[in-house]
Copies of this chain bind each other. A is one copy, B any other.
Amino acid sequence: MVCSDVTLDDLVDFHAGIDDFDYSHGATLFGMGAPTEAVYCIRGGAVKMVRFDAAGGERIVRVLKVGDVAGFESAFADNYEHAAIAVGEVRACRIPIVYFRRFVAEHAGLQARLLEKSQAALREAESWLTELVGGTTPARTRVARLLLRLRVGSGDRIHRFSVDDMAAIIGSTPETVSRAVSEFVRQGLLVKGGSGAAKRHFRGDIAALEKVSQDG
């Protein structure tokens, strides 16, 4: 993880302006097209990376979880390519772009690490292309696959996105997602979290979901 890298920890030690921030549900870390002024290390929660098409419809192209770095794709461009929006409570550390660029320029090891990050993101995007979106795969299967990808760590807790968000990921409609999720809940594959912070999570029967995710 870039943030825990020694050289970047040095950055935190020696410069002011880098601190952890909290973002509440729906808060915007940065907007699509806004001038690039920082990258963010996600320390907790989930962040959706959003693109808007010509018609103004939103499409989620990636989901960031703890350890991911938001905005690094645009670190050497003038403007952000996506909007980054918090889903549930999010904690992130903000690194002003000038510090970030200086450090990358000065430390060769960081470049290799960035390349890894970029290729991991590419792998993830391709994975979405093959497994999650459209194709000829039934919607319920794709919803199951998505839920498995939204797991927190390797337990049975699953980030609970809104039906609209899930639809914007798998390329479907809120109604269709709702029907699939409701059915999973009825069948006991999914349990909605109670109140408070737990509201933003499911408990999932991972084994059963994996069964559904294999199409048939």
Chain A residues packing against B (C-beta within 8 Å):
51, 53-55, 59, 61-62, 73, 76, 81, 108, 111-112, 114-116, 118-119, 121-123, 125-126, 128-131, 133-136, 170-173, 214-215
Chain B residues near A135 (CB-CB < 8 A): 59, 133-134, 171-172
State the number of copies, please: 2
Inter-chain contact B171/A126, CB cutoff 8 Å: no
Inter-chain contact B119/A61, CB cutoff 8 Å: no
Give Cα distance in the complex from A121 to B122, angstroms.
7
Of the candidates B118, B173, B214, which one forms a contact with A118 in the assembled complex, judged by CB atoms under 8 Å apart?
B118
Inter-chain contact A125/B134, CB cutoff 8 Å: no
Inter-chain contact B215/A55, CB cutoff 8 Å: yes
Give Cα distance in the complex from A26 to B206, angstroms.
40
Q: Return 22 A-B CB contacts under 8 Å, by A number.
A: A51-B126, A51-B130, A53-B130, A53-B131, A55-B215, A59-B129, A59-B130, A61-B129, A62-B126, A73-B122, A108-B108, A111-B115, A115-B118, A118-B122, A122-B122, A122-B125, A125-B125, A128-B129, A129-B129, A134-B170, A134-B172, A135-B171
Chain B residues near A54 (CB-CB < 8 A): 214
Inter-chain contact A133/B62, CB cutoff 8 Å: no
Of the candidates B108, B134, B214, which one forms a contact with A171 in the assembled complex, judged by CB atoms under 8 Å apart?
B134
Give Cα distance in the complex from A115 to B215, angstroms.
36
Give Cα distance in the complex from A178 to B200, angstroms.
44
Give Cα distance in the complex from A73 to B112, angstroms.
13
